[in-house]
Structure 1
């Protein structure tokens, strides 16, 4: 870098100050620019005073300081625009979109909050069918299965599935001669509404759910409290109701057709719970440990940080009702809107 020479007898303060770029509000606020300029110039003046006591080194020192001023100015602009990816700083692409919502060492709470920020920036999807595919592998009994559902906005639902059961296949005669179920697409005669923490909800209700975290949590709690959810012991206790609310929040980021703003709110509520632990980067996103029930081991979940969508889990919350499922395997989840209904 060629430094601009400073003429003997000139005002060094003015000559060096002019090397700093003018403040641009979109890159660095003017007050930050002023603070940076004062900081740099104070150090330059101290160095100049030292240079007076040793004049033979002044030209080299001033040339070095000239380069340093320019380097500090460039660094300041880089920090202002977020192009350096240090701890806690977003790394941006050419289009300005965050390519990594949270640092690799982020806590579970930070991961969820970063995913919420990414999710709420996604556009509202207006396609026709809510599509869910669940692939279960590695269960304790060796069973594997695949299930797909398509739900139209008016509630009509189509489903198909296939599964392999070693015990059934080895039976004589085998229960499934082909080794799997028929895998035919059927329309569900009486479509069931979606299940949110055990409470029945429609697509319209999910689309209109609150987008403020506290209000969303209260809305789910009211649905659970006023529903007819029962266990073998009777109505839900207060503790069980709170657990169902938590499960409902996880459903909103996994299997239910919640709009991006509602999913973002659900992620922020989940982040407020004390039982969320980070597993760091994993295949498919960021790994989390979340306790669904105090007496059971935490569930392992994988969150896509770009969409806020749950992609993999060892615990499944049924879409259309039922109890929490954990068969020792892994459930890979695809949940998205589509315009395509298979023939």
Structure 2
């Protein structure tokens, strides 16, 4: 049985014994006390002890145990997030709420609200009047094609089947990169975990699928999780994500979807928050 199948099997097992969790947390805390705080770039303080301890618990649950003193690899972080994603309820609410923010640039915060039947409002997006919520006709998109919440719920919960489905998904060539047109699922997988209202079991599959992508690396613990890097197909750029393995959330990224579903890359990190809410657009 390969590693991913082993992880999938472990997902169905009960929580680890309390003493095992305590031992794992203690080992990680001892290691963290001896690690100097460092900063990378403009927003990257070291991971807190509490988050690091939770990551150790996640590693124990997944069966991916990092040797003492060794940082988690990119693959391990993604597999930890996969476990958290499957165990975390999606939540409920009237609106799927998304924010984007670049704090080091003079760009207004962007917000959008989407109902389950596809109605959408936005604020701060290109073309919106400053500070005003407006109806927005742009639908949820994947590979430049419109997708509904029902479509997302029908996606496979198996990582290999999910990659195959995304590779075969009919998109718009004008909104896809050359690699997407060839069937590379990288950007579609990132969209599923970063901004779309993807159900827990599909989010889990997307994280596990990303763990199989060639070249994924972790640069270590940063504010909001672990910074991961993927080679950008056909270029020398890197796709960067900050993933919190405890909450299975992408907290920052340099790659997002544009209003037409195309891939947008930023020179700096974009902060992203998502979730269901009953708070109306305002």
Of structures 1 and 2, the larger Rg is shown by 1
SS at match of 1:83: helix
2:115 aligns with one of 152, 160, 166: 152
Distance 1:237 1:158, change over 3 A: closer
Q: 2:81 aligns with which of 115, 122, 125?
A: 115
Unaligned runs of 5+ in 1: 1-25, 29-76, 90-97, 164-179
Equivalent pair of 1:125/1:259 in contact (CA under 8 Å): no
Q: After the TM superposition, list the runs of 4 or more consecutive aligned residues in structure 1 that deviate by more than 3 angstroms.
A: 86-89, 235-240
Gap regions ≥5 residues in structure 2: 1-13, 29-52, 60-65
Distance (whole Å) between structure 1 residues aligned to residue 125 and residue 152 of structure 2: 29
* C-alpha distance 324-87 of structure 1, shift in aligned 2 (>3 A): farther
* 1:302 paired to 2:250: no
| TM-score normalised over the length of structure 2 | 0.73
Aligned with 1:184 (options 132, 147, 153): 132
CA distance in 2, matches of 1:250, 1:161: 23
Q: Of residues 189, 196, 200 in structure 1, which corresponds to 2:142?
A: 196
Question: 2:54 aligns to what?
Answer: 99
**TM-score of the pair, normalised by structure 1:** 0.61
Aligned to 1:228: 172
Whole-Å separation in 2 of the counterparts to 1:84 and 1:306: 18
Aligned length: 235
Within 2, Cα distance between the matches of 1:247 and 1:27? 33
**Displacement after TM superposition at 1:87 (Å):** 11
Structure 1, 149-158 or 120-129: larger mean CA deviation: 120-129
**Matched residue of 2:23: which SS?**
coil
**CA distance 1:186–1:78, shift in 2 (3 Å):** closer
- CA deviation map 1:206-256 (0-9, x unaligned): 122211111111111121xx333237xxx986773333x210000011011
- Is the alpha carbon distance of 1:116 and 1:327 closer, same or farther for their aligned partners in structure 2, counting shifts above 3 Å? closer
- State the SS of the aligned residue for 1:341: coil
**More contact order relative to length (CA 8 Å, sep ≥ 6):** 2
- Over the aligned positions, Cα root-mean-square deviation in angstroms equals 3.2
Deviations 1:133-156 (A, max 9, x none): 001243xxx532211000000100
Q: Within 1, Cα distance between the matches of 2:226 and 2:123?
A: 30
Is the CA contact 2:97–2:112 (under 8 Å) kept in the aligned structure 1? yes
Distance 2:15 2:163 in 1: 38
Check the 8 A contact 2:121/2:281 in 1, yes or no.
no
DSSP-derived class of the 2:203 partner: helix
Q: Provide the C-alpha distance between the structure 2 equivalents of 1:204 and 1:88, rounded to a whole number of angstroms.
A: 43
